[in-house]
Amino acid sequence: MAILPITLIGDKILRHKVKKVSDVDVETVELIKNMFQTMRNANGIGFAANQIGADKSIIVIDVSVIEEYKNIKPLVLINPDIIYRSEEKIIMEEGCLSIPDIRCEIERPSQIVVKYKDTDMVKHELEASALLARVIQHEFDHLNGILFTDLIDQDLKKKLKKPLSLIKNRQLEVDYPVTADSEYRL
């Protein structure tokens, strides 16, 4: 397993829809292990493959580090598709390893149902609510080129323009490895 550099806002791969996974080979298993390792090293609870530069529809989640979710096993979602979003919405603060030190209140559906495949390419359907639903939606957005900062209002976007520019230009110190300035740039 390896800790890989994390892509940052401004990196091209974070802005396009990733490719579906057709089979899980040794390389894909290694990618998933590296995703968990990289996510945990950066103290994250959800991670999308494009956050380490992989053009694959894979999400890893481990919310068990949070006391009330300690009994939830880590999840690997391959080719996820959210098939239901509740009308009821909740607002929670979100952050992102690809946008370090920025946190915003984001409104999202409180419950979802997601279809996905596991590492054996077996189909599953998962009902999720609260934090787990939030993390799945955040990471699902990543796979579609959407960042949580896309969901905030224009006034807040204006206020975040300078801090986001510092991140894009690698002028913010981060406690984990990030991609070099030229690696995945737009």
Three-class SS of residue 28?
helix
Of the candidates 175, 151, 155, 185, the residue with the CA atom closest to the CA atom of residue 41: 175
Active site residues: 139
DSSP character string of 84-106: EE-S-EEEEEEEETTEEEEEEEE
Torsion on CA atoms 150, 4, 132, 20, rounded to nearest 10: 70
Alpha carbon 61 to chain centroid distance?
Answer: 9
Retrieve residue 174's tokens: 């981060």
